Every structure is written in C-alpha cells, then in structure tokens.
C-alpha cells in the first residue's frame, strides 16, 4: 500500500532554510545568494557578514539636532524662531505670564507662522497656530508628538514663528511674557535664539516699560 507523502508547510520550509544558513558557516552569507536584502533601487543592501552580524551598505542617516529656545516677548509682535529656510520640527511650545505682572493682569499670547521670500520677512503672509490667555503666575505648555514642521513651501522662502502678546488693560509698564520652544532640525542651517538680544532674564520675567 502506497503511503501519501506530506509536504512541509511554508513555515516549516522557512525554518529549515534558516537552519541550513546557520549551519553552513559564512559561505552563504558572504556569497550573498540567500541572505542579502536589497531595496527597490538595488543600491542599499542588508547582509550578514562573516561574524554573523547584520550590516548594510547604506550610509547612516545624519543625527537630528535638538534645540531649546527661550524668548522674552514684549507687548508687541516678535519672532521667537527664525527667519530661517531650514526644516524644523517643533515638539513643544511653552508660555508663561510672570506672577509679578502689573496689577496681576492676565496676558494674551497669539502664535502664528509668517512666510515670505524676503529674508527679513516684511509683508509676510501669516497663519495662526492658536490664541491663549494666561493669568498672572501661570504657565501653559503644548506638546506636539508629530510636528508641526516649519519649512519653506517654495524655493527661496523664509519662515518665522511669531508671538503677538498683550497684557489686559494695556498698562504702561509690564513684565514680558516668556515663550519657550523645543524641537529638532531636520535639515538646513538653523541657530535658535536662547533669549532676545539685550534682554536680561530674571526669575520673575523681564520688566518692559
């Protein structure tokens, strides 16, 4: 009586193939007939070397440059990042109204992105991110798991992240709002400001006449 031959399942066949490669030493790995994996262009290849290590012919990706920027925003419009033509990912934005604010007044902060083909950014076209109100002595932080990404939309364009601030009642003397930005640089040259030039930071903010 003839017995029926049972063929191995695909999973079993793959397991046998892995055992053959492992027991076969470096020959299969170095000749690249079984274990090389190439991308669609054939220029980037992953392979197992003679020591059994997984390697690739692709050049390593450049590291991302993280940054933190602090700005002391007066009651007006100012750039907290930029102008720049780099590609920057913002991971969080923080705002604070000092607790010594004049008359204990709340402050308003509006964030927006301005774009222009002029490096100094006059006559920019803006896009608002959001408007926020903070009581004296309070802080607020927004965390962005995946952006936003600040980068030129067309060749030669510059962008900047703007903060438009005001204090309720418009007193003659106020403490500046504190705006902090965290993120990383995807590409291009970018140097974030650590603080506004000529403005000294204090634990309670900076008083602005």
Tens of pLDDT, residue by residue over 145-183, are 877 889 998 888 899 898 888 898 888 888 888 899 999
pLDDT band at 9 (very low <50, low <70, confident <90, very high): low
Cβ contact 107:163 at 8 Å: no
> Rounded to whole angstroms, how far apart are CA atoms 140 and 19?
57
> Rounded to whole angstroms, how far apart are CA atoms 142 and 164?
17
Cβ contact 105:75 at 8 Å: no
| Residue 134 confidence (pLDDT) above 90 | yes
Q: Is the pTM of this model over 0.85?
A: no
Give the DSSP H or E segment for 145.
none
Cβ contact 146:31 at 8 Å: no
Which CA distances in Å does 96 have to 93, 112, 139, 165? 10, 17, 4, 11
| Residue 202 confidence (pLDDT) above 50 | no
Residue 128 belongs to domain spanning: 65-208
| Residue 86 confidence (pLDDT) above 70 | yes
Domain stops at, among 21, 38, 56: 56
Top pLDDT among 28 and 156 is at 156
Which CA distances in Å does 162 have to 97, 133, 176? 17, 16, 15
Q: Which residues are registered as beta bridge partners of 105?
A: none
Establish if 3 belongs to a structural domain.
no
Establish if 30 belongs to a structural domain.
yes
| CA-CA-CA-CA dihedral for 19, 20, 21, 27, to nearest 10 | 150
- Structural tokens at position 113: 């992105």
- Structural tokens at position 131: 């408007």
Please state the φ and ψ torsions of residue 197, each to the nearest 5 degrees: -55, 130
pLDDT number for residue 67: 87
Give the DSSP H or E segment for 7.
none
Which CA distances in Å does 69 have to 13, 22, 161, 188, 200? 56, 52, 12, 17, 15
Establish if 148 belongs to a structural domain.
yes
Residue at token pair 């926020």: 132
pLDDT band at 78 (very low <50, low <70, confident <90, very high): confident
22 lies in the same domain as 78: no
72 lies in the same domain as 26: no
pLDDT number for residue 150: 92
83 lies in the same domain as 166: yes
84 lies in the same domain as 28: no
Percentage of the chain lying above the pLDDT 70 cut: 60
């Amino acid at each position: 009586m003839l017995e029926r031959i049972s063929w191995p399942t695909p999973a079993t066949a793959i397991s046998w193939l892995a055992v053959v490669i492992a027991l076969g030493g470096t020959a299969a790995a170095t000749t690249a007939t079984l274990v090389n994996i190439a991308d669609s262009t054939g220029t980037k290849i992953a392979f197992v070397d003679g020591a059994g290590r997984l390697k690739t012919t692709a050049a390593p990706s450049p590291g991302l440059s993280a940054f933190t920027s602090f700005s002391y925003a007066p009651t007006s419009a100012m750039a907290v990042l930029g102008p720049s033509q780099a590609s920057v990912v913002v991971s969080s934005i923080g705002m604070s109204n000092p607790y010594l604010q004049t008359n204990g007044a709340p402050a308003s902060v509006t964030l927006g992105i301005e774009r222009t083909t002029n490096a100094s950014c006059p006559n920019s076209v803006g896009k608002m991110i959001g408007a926020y109100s903070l009581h004296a002595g309070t802080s607020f932080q927004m965390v962005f798991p995946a952006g936003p990404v600040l980068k030129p939309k067309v060749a030669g364009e510059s962008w900047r992240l703007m903060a438009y601030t005001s204090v309720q009642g418009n007193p003659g003397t106020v403490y500046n709002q504190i705006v902090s930005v965290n993120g990383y640089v995807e590409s291009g040259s970018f140097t974030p400001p650590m603080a506004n030039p000529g403005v000294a930071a204090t634990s309670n903010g900076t008083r602005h006449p």
